[in-house]
Structure 1
Amino acid sequence: MANMQEIARMAGVSLGTVSHVLNNSAKVRESTRKRVLEAVQLVGYQPSQLARGLRRDKTNMIGMIIPDITNPFFPAVVRGAEDVAFSNGYRLILCNTDNDHSKEIIHLNELRTYLPAGLIVIPSNFSDLTTQAEYYRRAGAGVVCIDRLPKNWSGDSVTSDNEAGAYNATRHLIQLGHTRLATITGPLHLTNAAERLEGFKRAMKEAKLHLSPEYVQETSFDKQGGHAKTLVLLRLIPRPTAIFAGNDMIALGALLAIREAGLRCPEEISLMGFDDLDLAETTNPSLSSVSQPGYQLGTTAARLLLDRREGDTSPAKHIVLETLLHLRNSVSPPPDVATVGSSMNLIGKKQGRR
């Protein structure tokens, strides 16, 4: 394997000159610099980032920890962070926790040994990053939490406006005429799930609609959980005419359960999701959903982290991104309202023919 001594010999310069050229650490005559770079190319030399990091007490690596690599929402978040990191000369290392706090701790401890420039974390279930984040900060590495916040978190964060998104989605269902609404939440110890439930409850309270406890079902943020809890809701008397799902994966499970029960969506039961994944356009019916900007979550977190790296010492920043309601074909007025509307149209047509 080629080394710096070989490059120095081929270029006819000292080892220090090679180091200055490779690290941009001192001004070198252009002709000399050109000879060094030609020798580097000839021998195929690749500098050791870890060795360079040890000398500088920091590498160009950014660690990113996510809870579930199979969740379709997270790739856009990762892509946003990676695009910003790469364009600024940093490289992203991705770790998956499977929503397991013990696995998250292992990743956090091991990433520190690589001397990362910073850390971006979507916390796992029951995560508590406070102590770990302090270790990183003492070493000069910033830490940014995104999407959801761990217990007692007081550092930098980037989240979506979950409460407003859920409120707007629920209010739309109510404006369509629904009065028997239910929701399937994600795990309520997670801040994003709790905030979405608060938005749902606020819309119900403003409309003076009663919400019985059994019409709020808590599950994991996945298709299996959505399927199981929808079956519970469909057995209630009276059955809800609309379901607000805590994310699109829950909504997919709900849609499957609705079909299995022999019901039609949205004619007999409306369904609203949260995330607005690409697959929301391909379901049958296409899924109405609250859109949160996954890519922007990633880019914003990475820029915030790099600002800290460049010397920003201002107080912790809590950035909240707006959500949008994307309406498709999975919501409509409830059956009784739709029937009344159809009857009125029919009466109007008959009267018009007289």
Structure 2
Amino acid sequence: MNASIHDVAKRAGVSISTVSRVINNSAGVKDSKAAAVREALEYYDYQPSQFGRGLVTGSSKMIGVYSPLANGSMFENGYLLECLRGIDNVIRESDYSLLLISEAAGYEENRKAKPKFIDYVSQKRIDGLIVLTIPSDGRLEGSLSAIIEEDFPVGYIGKRFSEKGMNVYASYEEYILDGIRRLYEKGHRRIAFLPLKSRSNTNLKLKSKAETKFTGLKINITDTVYNIDADFLRDILKYMIEEAHVTAMICEDLGLLVKVQSILSSMGKQLGEDISVICVEHVKGQGAKMLPKIDCYYVPSLELGETIATELLNQLSGKKNTDLSKKYMPEYMDRGSVREI
């Protein structure tokens, strides 16, 4: 039965405000009137709007989960999916619900565009915010800092950029540099690096730092996205092998590496044999299922999501530990895909 709050109030013989007080368990309603309202609610099978309740209570009981990565869906990104699973594991045990906020396709090109979560915060459509990643261009940090300063509950997954707020971080710079070191110690001096576009600024700094530290090292970086064009990727790999003469590569995602493997095979090159490789896995053991097995850094994305969701719920419940910062160092899984030359 498609009934409104007006229908419920009319059947119960009370005002709309009385119905709202009963729905929200507020005090000051006589038992007889409360019973009449509950009978009407049951009669109409009336389900109050979550947002409507938020206007009355000041709480939407919604937590926004925001991804600033406009290139490709968050559902095709292994890292984001695992983070979402971890967040959901925690939130579904509470009385909150999740609201996914993806960014508009033209966001990266329009430098004046504000992040989508701003409207959700200002309109009080969410009670808290979880940000799945922090791009290295600095664009997101100002908007987040502003709402953190206003004590809006925010937790983010990425490198800490402020003294306030809650974050968890998987030590990206440290494990990428460690991977370069491992390849260098095996004799590799020409390394291809296929990272995600969102970390462009960080990766340029990593390249400079590694080439300064390791004598004779040359790193070729090509920023990628999850929906990278196959022909473009083929041209990149052809250049790296035939002209840059790379003997090893670091790839940031196993899904991308599957595409790389297929193209290299068509060029007569095999991962783990002709080209040594280190990748990143977000589900432990994924790299062991590939043929050949792939050396990986295991980034515990599920745990990152669970940790930040737990801390956000703690803040929403009034606990005082609102400046948590936790850093993880991914575990290296040696499976034999790095050869000595």
**TM-score normalized with structure 2 length:** 0.76
**Take 1:230 and 1:193, find their aligned partners in 2: how far apart are those partners?**
22
Aligned match of 1:300 in 300, 307, 314?
307
Shift in Å at residue 40 of structure 1? 2.6
**Are 2:191 and 2:249, in contact at CA under 8 Å, matched by a contact in 1?**
yes
**Take 1:94 and 1:58, find their aligned partners in 2: how far apart are those partners?**
17
Query: For residue 111 of structure 1, what is the amino acid of its counterpart?
Result: Y
Moved more, 127-136 or 184-193: 184-193
2:258 aligned counterpart, secondary structure: helix
Cα distance change of structure 1 residues 265 and 56 upon mapping to structure 2, 3 Å threshold: same
Shift in Å at residue 135 of structure 1? 5.1
**Take 1:147 and 1:282, find their aligned partners in 2: how far apart are those partners?**
28
Query: What aligned pairs does 1:142-221 form with structure 2 within 5 A after superposition?
Result: 142-147=153-158, 155-174=165-184, 177-186=186-195, 190=199, 194=203, 197=206, 201=210, 205=213, 209-212=215-218, 215-221=219-225
**Take 1:321 and 1:195, find their aligned partners in 2: how far apart are those partners?**
22
**Take 1:196 and 1:73, find their aligned partners in 2: how far apart are those partners?**
23
Structure 2 residue 95 is the aligned partner of structure 1 residue 89: yes
**Take 1:55 and 1:84, find their aligned partners in 2: how far apart are those partners?**
26
Cα distance change of structure 1 residues 14 and 270 upon mapping to structure 2, 3 Å threshold: same
**Are 2:278 and 2:338, in contact at CA under 8 Å, matched by a contact in 1?**
no
**Are 2:170 and 2:328, in contact at CA under 8 Å, matched by a contact in 1?**
yes
**Are 1:265 and 1:271, in contact at CA under 8 Å, matched by a contact in 2?**
yes
**Take 2:25 and 2:289, find their aligned partners in 1: how far apart are those partners?**
51
**Are 1:99 and 1:124, in contact at CA under 8 Å, matched by a contact in 2?**
no
Deviations 1:133-177 (A, max 9, x none): 35534665312221456x7796432221223333443444456x3
**Take 2:215 and 2:302, find their aligned partners in 1: how far apart are those partners?**
36
Deviations 1:297-338 (A, max 9, x none): 222222222222223455633221231122335x1423x5xx
1:184 aligned counterpart, secondary structure: strand
**Are 1:81 and 1:301, in contact at CA under 8 Å, matched by a contact in 2?**
yes
Cα distance change of structure 1 residues 90 and 79 upon mapping to structure 2, 3 Å threshold: same
1:79 aligned counterpart, secondary structure: helix
Partner in structure 1 of residue 262 of structure 2: 256
Shift in Å at residue 211 of structure 1? 0.9
Partner in structure 1 of residue 114 of structure 2: 105
**Take 1:287 and 1:99, find their aligned partners in 2: how far apart are those partners?**
35
2:305 aligned counterpart, secondary structure: helix
Deviations 1:93-122 (A, max 9, x none): 112225834497251233232431011122
Partner in structure 2 of residue 328 of structure 1: 335
Cα distance change of structure 1 residues 275 and 39 upon mapping to structure 2, 3 Å threshold: same
Moved more, 117-126 or 51-60: 117-126
**Take 1:174 and 1:62, find their aligned partners in 2: how far apart are those partners?**
44
Aligned residues: 326
1:301 aligned counterpart, secondary structure: helix
Q: Which has the higher contact order (CA 8 A, sep 6+)?
A: 2
**Take 2:6 and 2:36, find their aligned partners in 1: how far apart are those partners?**
14
Shift in Å at residue 234 of structure 1? 0.6
Partner in structure 1 of residue 296 of structure 2: 289
Cα distance change of structure 1 residues 125 and 37 upon mapping to structure 2, 3 Å threshold: farther
2:3 aligned counterpart, secondary structure: coil
- Structure number with bigger Rg: 1
Query: What aligned pairs does 1:1-354 form with structure 2 within 5 A after superposition?
Result: 1-4=2-5, 6-7=7-8, 18-26=19-27, 37=38, 39-66=40-67, 67=69, 68=72, 69=74, 70-97=76-103, 98=105, 100-101=107-108, 102=110, 105-112=114-121, 113-121=123-131, 122-123=133-134, 126=137, 128-134=139-145, 136-137=147-148, 140-147=151-158, 155-174=165-184, 177-186=186-195, 190=199, 194=203, 197=206, 201=210, 205=213, 209-212=215-218, 215-222=219-226, 224=229, 227-236=234-243, 239-276=245-282, 280-314=287-321, 316-328=323-335, 331-334=337-340
Query: For residue 120 of structure 1, what is the amino acid of its counterpart?
Result: I
Name structure 2 gaps, 5 residues minimum.
Answer: none
1:190 aligned counterpart, secondary structure: helix
Name structure 1 gaps, 5 residues minimum.
Answer: 337-354
**Are 2:63 and 2:97, in contact at CA under 8 Å, matched by a contact in 1?**
yes
1:274 aligned counterpart, secondary structure: strand
Shift in Å at residue 184 of structure 1? 0.9
**Take 1:138 and 1:241, find their aligned partners in 2: how far apart are those partners?**
48
